């Protein structure tokens, strides 16, 4: 089988690997589509994502769907031939976070395509992968694989929304309009926000945010905005930081209304970030975080299968596996792309 191995930052080599046999409890999935995530881009271009640094060549990819080609012993529900979306996170189920339902904080989490552990968890940008049966969520027999793989970013979005106070009647600002930011625009809209405002540096991203339901959008390059939003002790009841940049968080803290909520879902650079943190005190803000997802993955698959949210505007490009380097360059180019998928024929 072919596997897209990140040998060093900026260089993926498609290599020939043995197809592994599924172990007891495992399902062998023929991967058919994989979305490139912001964390994949970060590993590809910088060799690290947040605090996780690449220390050996590894396969990226955690937003995938495919077809079941074999099952190991003790697999009870999943059948050969079924199409499945694959939850990239396998939690242990017994550690102190798992038993509290905080499965995304599992002490023994095995998350596909992550350098959080060493040896790294090999990812899913390859033709075959074995996963635990409980990582598989079935989709209809004719369902589009790339669409099914969008369950991962949608699950991140649903987990984020779960942390927020009620958005009914709220003025919401989304900072950063990548796929997650755009999904949060749609999610906030659906959750009853009075207005959803979005801000980003790239005009094409803002156009997507409008397509996903933003009432108004602003360029982050407009420096007068922060001042305007500040002068009334802030403007927005809820600000979602989805850019993962210190400048984005700085804007979020300035734009939040006194007594409001700022939620961090963007993955910030490693180390310390210079931001106007004193606003948390002076405006009595609540500053929350959201990391990955738990049970929301299955919910996200169901929402996508039922067509409850139109994700097609976000799916902008598809590349064959052997053009993985070109796919990553396109995914990095925010003037052209939103979510880029690798296709595995
Ligand atoms: Zn992702
Ligand atoms: Zn655990």
CA of 91, nearest ligand number: 2
pLDDT of 269 = 87
Total Cβ atoms within 10 A of residue 171: 20
Distance 100 CA to ligand 2 centre (A): 9
Same domain assignment for residues 118 and 52: yes
Same domain assignment for residues 68 and 125: yes
Per residue in 262-280, pLDDT (tens digit) is: 999 999 988 889 999 999 9
Per residue in 310-326, pLDDT (tens digit) is: 899 999 999 999 999 99
Same domain assignment for residues 330 and 270: no
Same domain assignment for residues 121 and 49: yes
Q: What's the whole-number mean pLDDT along residues 39-66?
A: 93
Contact 116/48 with Cβ under 8 angstroms? no
What distance in Å separates the CA atoms of residue 23 and residue 274, rounded to the nearest whole number?
47
Per-residue confidence band for 60, with pLDDT thresholds at 50, 70 and 90: very high
pLDDT of 33 = 97
Same domain assignment for residues 146 and 168: no
**pLDDT at position 153 over 90:** yes
The CATH number covering residue 177 comes to: 3.40.50.720
Distance 91 CA to ligand 1 centre (A): 17
In a domain, 71, yes or no: yes
In a domain, 299, yes or no: no
> Which of 27-36, 41-50, 183-192 is predicted least confidently?
41-50
Same domain assignment for residues 72 and 162: no
Distance 63 CA to ligand 1 centre (A): 6
**pLDDT at position 68 over 80:** yes
Distance 135 CA to ligand 2 centre (A): 14
Distance 37 CA to ligand 1 centre (A): 4
**pLDDT at position 230 over 80:** no
Distance 138 CA to ligand 2 centre (A): 24
Per residue in 102-115, pLDDT (tens digit) is: 999 999 999 999 99
Per-residue confidence band for 49, with pLDDT thresholds at 50, 70 and 90: confident
CA of 151, nearest ligand number: 1
Same domain assignment for residues 169 and 272: yes
Same domain assignment for residues 229 and 320: no
Distance 170 CA to ligand 1 centre (A): 27
Same domain assignment for residues 262 and 334: no
Distance 294 CA to ligand 2 centre (A): 11
Per-residue confidence band for 232, with pLDDT thresholds at 50, 70 and 90: confident
In a domain, 77, yes or no: yes
Same domain assignment for residues 90 and 162: no
Same domain assignment for residues 228 and 142: no
In a domain, 306, yes or no: no
First to last CA, the chain: 12
Distance 152 CA to ligand 1 centre (A): 6
CA of 63, nearest ligand number: 1
Q: What's the whole-number mean pLDDT along residues 76-96?
A: 96
Distance 229 CA to ligand 1 centre (A): 31
DSSP letter for each residue of 121-167 = B--S-BSEEEEEGGGEEEE-TT--HHHHHTHHHHHHHHHHHHHSPP-
Sign of CA dihedral 224, 228, 231, 236: negative
Total Cβ atoms within 10 A of residue 336: 14
pLDDT of 222 = 87
Distance 94 CA to ligand 1 centre (A): 25
Same domain assignment for residues 200 and 318: no
In a domain, 296, yes or no: no
Domain that holds residue 106: 2-150+311-343
DSSP letter for each residue of 91-113 = --S-STTGGGT-GGG-TT-EETT
Per-residue confidence band for 172, with pLDDT thresholds at 50, 70 and 90: very high
pLDDT of 214 = 98
For residue 215, report the phi and psi dihedrals to the nearest 5 degrees.
Answer: -75, -40
The CATH number covering residue 100 comes to: 3.90.180.10
In a domain, 135, yes or no: yes
What is the tally of structural domains in the chain? 2
In a domain, 233, yes or no: yes
Distance 278 CA to ligand 1 centre (A): 31
Distance 283 CA to ligand 1 centre (A): 33
pLDDT of 271 = 87
Per-residue confidence band for 51, with pLDDT thresholds at 50, 70 and 90: confident
Percent of the chain with pLDDT over 90: 90
Indicate the average pLDDT of the chain.
Answer: 95
| Prediction pTM value | 0.95
In a domain, 117, yes or no: yes
């Amino acid at each position: 089988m072919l596997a897209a191995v990140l040998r060093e930052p900026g260089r993926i080599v498609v290599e020939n690997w043995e197809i592994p046999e599924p172990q007891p409890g495992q399902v062998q999935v023929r991967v058919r589509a994989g979305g490139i995530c912001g964390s994949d881009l970060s590993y590809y271009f910088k060799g690290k994502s947040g605090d996780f640094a690449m220390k050996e060549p590894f396969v990226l990819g955690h937003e995938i769907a495919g077809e079941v080609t074999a099952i190991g012993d003790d697999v009870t529900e999943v059948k050969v031939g079924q199409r499945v979306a694959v939850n990239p996170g396998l939690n242990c189920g017994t550690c102190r976070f798992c038993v509290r339902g905080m499965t995304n904080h599992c002490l023994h989490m095995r998350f596909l395509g992550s350098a959080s552990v060493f040896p790294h968890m090999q990812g899913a940008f390859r033709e075959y992968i074995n996963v635990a049966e409980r990582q598989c969520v079935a989709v209809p027999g004719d369902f589009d694989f790339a669409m099914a793989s969008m369950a991962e970013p949608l699950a991140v979005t649903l987990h984020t929304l779960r942390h927020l106070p009620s958005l009914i009647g709220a003025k919401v600002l989304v900072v950063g309009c990548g796929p997650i930011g755009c999904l949060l625009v749609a999610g906030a809209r659906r959750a009853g926000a009075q207005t959803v405002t979005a801000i980003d540096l790239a005009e094409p991203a803002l156009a997507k945010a409008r397509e996903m339901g933003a009432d108004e959008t602003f360029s982050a390059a407009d420096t007068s905005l922060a001042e305007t939003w500040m002068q009334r002790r802030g403007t927005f009841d809820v600000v979602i930081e989805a850019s993962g940049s210190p400048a984005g968080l700085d804007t979020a803290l300035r734009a939040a209304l006194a007594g409001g909520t700022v939620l961090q879902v963007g993955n910030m650079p490693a180390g310390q970030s210079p931001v106007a943190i004193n606003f948390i005190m002076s405006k009595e803000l609540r500053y929350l975080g959201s990391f990955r997802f738990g049970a929301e993955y299955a919910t996200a698959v169901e929402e996508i299968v039922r067509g409850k949210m139109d994700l097609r505007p976000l799916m902008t490009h598809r590349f064959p596996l052997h053009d993985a380097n070109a796919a990553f360059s396109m995914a990095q180019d925010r003037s052209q792309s939103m979510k880029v998928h690798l296709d595995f024929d």
